[in-house]
Amino acid sequence: MLPTSIFAASSFIAFGTAFPLYSRVATSTTLAPRAAYITFGGDGSTAAGWPRQSEWKSFEDAWASNQDTIRGSCENHGWGDNNSDAETQAVKDSIESESGASGVPKELILAIMMQESKGCVRAPTTASDAPNPGLMQGAGTASCHSISPCPANVIYDMIHEGTTGEGLRLSLKKALDAFSATPDDSKYYKAARLYNSGDQVTDPNLGQGATACYASDIANRLIAPFGDSSCDNGAVASLAQTAGRETVNNDNNNSNDDQPLDLEQHQTVDEQPAPKQNADTQTADSGVLDTSITGAVEGCIKYYTPSDGSTCEAAPVPLATLRQLNSLLSEDCSNLWAGYGYCIATLALLQPN
């Protein structure tokens, strides 16, 4: 059994959310150029702000976006040798083959696999009331933990057991079949909730369950693949719908159904809204900038907007001052975002002593 830092999930262990891997934000060395995490709340419907299947990345794009994470996943977690190119190709081939045979969208299989094992073929077996081995951490027996190289047929078996798993008590396909009467795309997020918890989904809030962020994480992986989740389990459990995200009518005849949502406008749990201007430094002509940046002090008159690759050390003021003027900026500068404005001056600071 893996260390207790892994989030237990009844018959399935969602350890995709438990291990730091690639930071989604700036550290003392770099900024990660990826979209902001959206905290999806509520019942999985588009009316609650969840994405339609048409908003998912294509499988090829999602696969390419996940390659950096997959490439280092085994060693980053202490699970043995990183995947070889042949092993990783076998994972891709197995997902495509299993999707074609089962009818389960390959994008969904990939998202579940990334959530559970980050694509490491040597992921260990976890257990709650039953063993959960392999790439999908579902019921079954296929595993390559401590085996290198991992044979292609075992890689296929890991994907097959998690996706279809004939004779097993639960698989991703069985989870989807449980919501076959659901008329909209919420069935995919409900199935993810069921796959994670192993129990029937009775609460319409998908943030209620073994790992509160699981369904929200899957939705994010489907539209903007990432390594580690920035989701707050407590925050998502309290949401009745997706905060700050445009909602749509579920009527299939609605003319807006095929129009993609603007993901850039959505506010999330620990993100800051974009600044009014986008220069490297911004000064209000009136002397006071009317801004809605979360955590910036009142009366800010000048802003620093980092670009990709910038760090807190690159700001024109010391880190202590940057944190003093931006209360939500973490001590390790781990939530500095490219393209967002951070206060660097107030009238009081500019006035001579």
What are the pLDDT digits (tens) for 197-219? 887 777 788 998 778 999 999 99
* CA-to-CA dists, residue 73 to 31, 39, 78, 137, 265, angstroms: 20, 24, 9, 15, 31
Does 30 score more than 50 pLDDT? Answer: no
pLDDT value, residue 198: 81
Evaluate if pTM is beyond 0.75.
Answer: no
In tens, the pLDDT along 78-137 reads 999 999 999 999 999 999 999 999 999 999 999 999 999 999 999 999 876 678 999 999
More confident residue, 329 or 175: 175
Cα four-point dihedral sign 294, 295, 298, 300:
negative
Given a contact cutoff of 8 angstroms between Cβ atoms, the answer to whether 195 and 23 are in contact is no
Distance between CA atoms of residues 174 and 194, nearest Å: 9
pLDDT value, residue 265: 26
Distance between CA atoms of residues 275 and 339, nearest Å: 8
Distance between CA atoms of residues 335 and 234, nearest Å: 19
State the virtual CA torsion across 264, 109, 10, 42 in degrees, nearest 10: 30
pLDDT value, residue 245: 64
Label residue 35 by pLDDT band (50, 70, 90). Answer: low
Least Cα distance to 237 among 205, 204, 269 occurs for 205
More confident residue, 287 or 55: 55
- Report helix, strand or coil for 68: helix
Least Cα distance to 154 among 165, 143, 163, 145 occurs for 143
In tens, the pLDDT along 291-312 reads 435 677 877 888 887 776 777 7
Label residue 221 by pLDDT band (50, 70, 90). Answer: very high
Average of per-residue pLDDT values in the chain = 76
Is residue 344 within a helix (H) or strand (E), and if so which, with residue range? strand 342-346
Report whether the peptide linkage leading into residue 149 is cis, meaning its omega lies within 30 degrees of zero: yes
Least-confidence region, from 15-24, 66-75, 290-299, 322-331: 15-24
Cα separation of the two ends of the chain? 61
More confident residue, 26 or 100: 100
- What is the residue type of 104? V
- Report helix, strand or coil for 319: helix
Distance between CA atoms of residues 153 and 166, nearest Å: 17
The whole-angstrom distance between residue 180's C-alpha and the CA centroid of its chain comes to 25
pLDDT value, residue 246: 53
Residue bearing tokens 């495509």? 96
In tens, the pLDDT along 248-274 reads 433 333 333 333 333 222 222 333 333
Cα four-point dihedral sign 272, 275, 279, 281:
negative
State the virtual CA torsion across 137, 230, 42, 116 in degrees, nearest 10: -10
